[in-house]
Amino acid sequence: MDLSYAQHLEDFHLASVFSEQAEGFYIDVGAGHPVADNVSCWFYQRGWRGIVVEPQPRLADLYASIRPRDISECCVLGAAEGEVDFHDVERLHGFSTIVPEFAESATGFGARYHTRKVPMKTLAGICRDHGVPRIDFLKVDVEGAEAAVLAGGDWTHYRPRVVVCEALAPGSMAENWLDWEPFLLERDYEFVLFDGLNRFYVDRAEREILARFPCEKAEWLVVPHLGHTNRAPFRDDHPDHAFAQELTGAFLALLPKLDREQLLDLVLHAEPGDLDAPLTADDKARVLARIFPGEKFPEESEGARSIDAPTLRAYYAAIIDSDAFRILTGRLSMSYDGGQILD
């Protein structure tokens, strides 16, 4: 393995038994981002495919662009089909969960969350719907709801060869595998490894995998880890640093020429407020602090403050159509579009 993408070397441990297998099928429940902290990404890159289950649309929608062979299910899995409250945690998407106390624990890290209804399917149901022939590994990381996911499986017709479950509660990191480990053991799975975060189980019928599976977790630095780096344009130890710098420059050079709807989408991408709610004074203050902080751009700030708009979205749209914002895009792009050459 040349690069681990997973949070805790889960892919490295799985690769110890599957690396020679050119094709395979996984089910990744609580898949998260298709690359960052992702257990199945390394396998996809080598020709595998599978079902990824992720209830946060912003993350689930990325699979169609980054991993188009995968089947993406934007839902949660549980013991029965229906609908359930899902708690989206801002910024710390890994804390998002159907368990309210775990979402509440994220507020201790300065993150807010909001609750919405999402569809709930079962593990057996998605296997049946997609005609799953074989599951090489099942990964479950659902912030405290692992027992419900496992309970919704058909362990006679759809038996994963290997099961990986997060075994510690989010935030507190308390042991929680006693909630679901007996369920797996009763279905003839054998515990093989605890990596400090996850527990691995192998179907007892898979004697070859049992013989090859590591008994101890690997040393953290056994392989380069994508988690060692962040923000590729700024970190020269990131494997894509040089190309990321080129792309950043190309994007900034093209910024003034972007279609206005595209530009609006970019500007709104990190906006936490309700875009279609009535505009408030707090909304205006937040937008101005973000784009035209008064201590640096007093005239631009005053001009933007005077804009009258019914909603936050309309306020942003009016700002990006202003002369001040157009000049802002020129300031950002001038070192990359030939206007100002700096050595």
- The predicted pLDDT at position 2 comes to 86
Q: Where are the domains of the chain?
A: 10-226, 233-333
- The predicted pLDDT at position 93 comes to 64
Could you tell me whether strands 198-203 and 76-77 are parallel, antiparallel, or unpaired per DSSP bridges? unpaired
- The predicted pLDDT at position 103 comes to 62
Task: Name which CATH class applies to 10-226.
Answer: alpha beta
- Cα–Cα distances (Å) from 61 to 23, 44, 132, 293, 340, in that order, read 24, 17, 22, 33, 38
- The predicted pLDDT at position 54 comes to 94
Compute mean pLDDT per 10 residues along the chain, 343 residues long, and list them: 92 95 96 93 95 92 94 96 85 68 66 84 98 96 91 97 91 83 98 96 97 94 84 88 95 94 93 90 94 92 94 96 93 86 60
132 — alpha (psi -120 to 50), left (phi > 0) or beta?
beta
Task: Supply the pTM of this predicted model.
Answer: 0.82
Distance CA 125, CA 132 (A): 10
CB 30 within 8 A of CB 73: no
Distance CA 234, CA 209 (A): 41
Sign for the pseudo-dihedral over CA of 69, 75, 80, 82:
negative
| Tokens matching residue 295 | 């201590």
Which of the 8 DSSP states describes residue 257? G
Which of the 8 DSSP states describes residue 258? S
Distance CA 144, CA 65 (A): 29
- The predicted pLDDT at position 110 comes to 67
- The predicted pLDDT at position 190 comes to 98
Distance CA 127, CA 33 (A): 22
Distance linking the first and last C-alpha atoms of the chain:
38
